[in-house]
A and B are shown apart, each in its own frame.
Chain A
Amino acid sequence: MGAVLCLKNDMAQLEGDSFRTNLPNDVLAHFFILSDQVMI
């Protein structure tokens, strides 16, 4: 499902289309809402 991307400055990993992190759900939700609302 794609290579694991370890990102030095981020407290999370992107693995294919899924997202791994130990951060609280509300922090994560805030991130996804913000990025989903970006349309250029």
Chain B
Amino acid sequence: MCEFCVKHGDGKKWYLAMENYSRELLHQQDRIGYMSYFVNTFEERVPLSLTRLEKLSRGPFRNIAKLLLTRSQKRDHFGQIVPLEDMEQILVRMDGIFRLSCPCRRVTAGQKNARYCYALTADPQLAAEVDDSFSLEVITSSEAIESVRNLDRAGLFHSIWTFKTPYIGAVCNCDQDCIAYRISYSRSYYQIMFRGEYVGRVDLDACNGCRNCMRQCHFGAIRYFAANKKVEIDVRQCYGCGVCRAACQNDAITLHARSADTVAVKIW
């Protein structure tokens, strides 16, 4: 279990605890104001933050900066990777969902209408405060689940996000255009999201060595062994997103609890 499962989930998966999605939480601490500010200013704010992070990462205080930034991020806006089956459990419980264009893709890909993000509320005040360019549309849980399934097959991994923790306000479908991916993984500036509660495992008898899963993995966790023509997952690298499974025609990859893996249990 990750740190948030202990703090915000009574030792169970914190993102399946419905109190973390409640209207009461949404209407406390000016969360709606925070969410709309976050989205509306993202395109202007984040490129500047990335420039500053690059400077910090080269400076003498890079390790302390990582600690301080992760600490404030955990307070305000932190994420976790969630596999498809858990994402479906989240979405099916929501009584209102907005789909909107992804702020990250505006910055990284110049795409203003990449509709990969879902706000887990259909609150009218939020709709009024978010900029029209995000063109919020109300969708049902079933529509959201169908859409996320398609994105999973396309190789996008799924993540949940807090807005003033522990309120979980959004889910996103991410790839290497995701700012959180870049900050946490590819540029290793600091941790902005937890890995998933799972790690992948390959059934070597079922693996035919096609290596399609390697192309699907965003985290470089899958290794190919030419001698036996099989792949294996390095659990030290695995983020537990599970999207590799969609690429496997033999269903050779399954997810297992990170907490039960002696190597990965403390790697978040």
Q: A: which residues have CB within 8 A of B?
A: 5, 7-12, 14, 19, 23, 27, 31, 34-35, 37-40
Q: How far is the CA of A9 from the CA of B183 in the complex (A)?
A: 20
Considering the complex, give the chain B residue whose CB is closest to the CB of A34. Answer: B52
Residue numbers in B under 8 Å from A37 (CB-CB): 48-49, 52
B55 lies within 8 A of A35 (CB)? no
Give A7 Cβ to nearest chain B Cβ, in Å: 4
B68 lies within 8 A of A34 (CB)? no
A11 lies within 8 A of B56 (CB)? no
B89 sits at the interface (CB 8 A): no
A39 lies within 8 A of B64 (CB)? no
B61 lies within 8 A of A12 (CB)? yes
A interface, over-half SS: loop
Residue numbers in B under 8 Å from A12 (CB-CB): 60-61, 64
B63 lies within 8 A of A11 (CB)? no
Considering the complex, give the chain B residue whose CB is closest to the CB of A19. Answer: B64
Considering the complex, give the chain B residue whose CB is closest to the CB of A11. Answer: B60
Give A26 Cβ to nearest chain B Cβ, in Å: 13
A40 lies within 8 A of B179 (CB)? yes
B75 sits at the interface (CB 8 A): no
A14 lies within 8 A of B179 (CB)? no
